[in-house]
């Protein structure tokens, strides 16, 4: 079957490192899926994923913006959840709307362009500490699906970052899928461990099979790791068109001048073939 690639456009990717294999903590900036239809307004629904720094705490985020209120629903992989209320503030930057979300469990700031593009969360701090949130706008033309998950090494060996026990206790691999799933589409992957995180621009190929309500897609992507390393990954997405489940399974390989490490990735949710 011929697989069609859909052109991807992402906001600037900022990576920092102090050597070939060692990474420093840094604000990675804003990473956004660019979609064809953003409804030309900042009002609407934004969906994304959350990853804590230094722990395995992860979850989904749904922000709703209307003329009269703003809310954020965070649902975590451990079964807990929290609701935050947003307050709008005047932006010093023209063309932006700014909101501050607060609850007993934590806070974060949210900026979005007046036309609904470039949603960005910053200053994310929950009960478990700081973290990152990555978002995309959910529209009728470009629906968004979310998956939280983890990753691990087949054998981390003596790699100075991946073999660290503290880092291994915080391996997170989240994904944001954009599009109906039948055609080629976009995937944005949030990979986090310790206090380091990456956002990967990946691609979903057109669905290659359908069993009952379940669609199957192949995926792939890559992102730089340190000064000279590269993580490449492939996977299969299985999801139910009625939204009942989403299942992501795959493998990754880190290549660098000094190391080659392989591993697996999987979503927290799973689907059973119908």
* Residue found under tokens 């995937």: 187
- CA-to-CA separations, 78 to 59, 74, 121, 266, in angstroms, rounded: 8, 12, 22, 16
Please report the pLDDT score of residue 196 as a whole number.
Answer: 86
Query: Same domain for 157 and 254?
Result: yes
With bands split at pLDDT 50, 70 and 90, how would you rate the model's confidence at 25? very low
Please report the pLDDT score of residue 250 as a whole number.
Answer: 97
Please report the pLDDT score of residue 21 as a whole number.
Answer: 44
φ/ψ of 268, rounded to 5, equals -70, -35
Residue 137: is its pLDDT beyond 50?
Answer: yes
CATH number at residue 91: 2.40.128.120
Domain-embedded: residue 116: yes
Determine the structural domain holding residue 179 and report its residue range: 143-268
Residue 255: is its pLDDT beyond 50?
Answer: yes
Query: Same domain for 152 and 109?
Result: no
Residue 24: is its pLDDT beyond 50?
Answer: no
Q: How many Cβ atoms are within 10 Å of 242's Cβ, its own excluded?
A: 8
The whole-number average pLDDT for the span 192-204 is 88
The whole-number average pLDDT for the span 168-182 is 91
Please report the pLDDT score of residue 1 as a whole number.
Answer: 40
With bands split at pLDDT 50, 70 and 90, how would you rate the model's confidence at 7? very low
CATH number at residue 174: 2.40.160
Query: Same domain for 96 and 79?
Result: yes
Query: Same domain for 120 and 158?
Result: no
Please report the pLDDT score of residue 92 as a whole number.
Answer: 58
Query: Same domain for 82 and 108?
Result: yes
Number of domains into which the chain is organized: 2
The whole-number average pLDDT for the span 1-30 is 36
Instruction: Tell which of 79, 114, 141 closes a domain.
Output: 141
More confident residue, 146 or 243: 146
Please report the pLDDT score of residue 144 as a whole number.
Answer: 94
Cα gap 123→114, rounded to integer Å: 21
Residue 172: is its pLDDT beyond 60?
Answer: yes
Query: Same domain for 47 and 148?
Result: no
Cα gap 77→81, rounded to integer Å: 9
Element (H, E) at 166: helix 165-168
With bands split at pLDDT 50, 70 and 90, how would you rate the model's confidence at 274? very low
């Amino acid at each position: 079957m011929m697989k069609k690639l859909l052109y991807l456009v992402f906001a600037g990717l900022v990576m920092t490192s102090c050597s070939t294999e060692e990474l420093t903590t840094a604000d990675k900036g804003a990473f956004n899926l660019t979609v064809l239809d953003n409804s030309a307004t900042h009002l609407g629904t934004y969906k994304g994923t959350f990853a804590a720094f230094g722990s395995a705490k992860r979850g989904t985020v749904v922000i709703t913006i209307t003329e009269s209120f703003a809310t954020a629903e965070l649902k975590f992989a451990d079964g807990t959840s929290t609701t935050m209320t947003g307050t709008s503030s005047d932006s010093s930057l023209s063309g932006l709307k700014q909101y501050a979300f607060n609850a007993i469990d934590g806070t974060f700031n949210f900026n979005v362009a007046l036309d609904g593009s470039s949603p960005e969360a910053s200053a994310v701090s929950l009960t478990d500490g700081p973290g990152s949130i990555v978002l995309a706008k959910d529209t009728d033309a470009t629906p968004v699906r979310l998956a939280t998950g983890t990753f691990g090494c087949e054998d981390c060996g003596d790699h100075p970052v991946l073999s660290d026990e503290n880092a291994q206790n915080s391996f997170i691999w989240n994904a944001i899928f954009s599009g109906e799933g039948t055609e080629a589409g976009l995937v944005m992957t949030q990979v986090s461990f310790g206090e380091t995180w990456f956002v990967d621009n990946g691609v979903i190929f057109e669905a290659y099979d359908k069993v009952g309500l379940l669609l199957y897609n192949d995926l792939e992507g890559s992102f730089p790791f340190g000064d000279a390393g590269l993580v490449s990954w492939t996977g299969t997405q299985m999801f139910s068109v009625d939204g009942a489940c989403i299942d992501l399974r795959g493998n990754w390989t880190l290549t660098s001048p000094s190391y080659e490490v392989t591993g697996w990735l999987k979503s927290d949710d799973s689907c059973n073939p119908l």
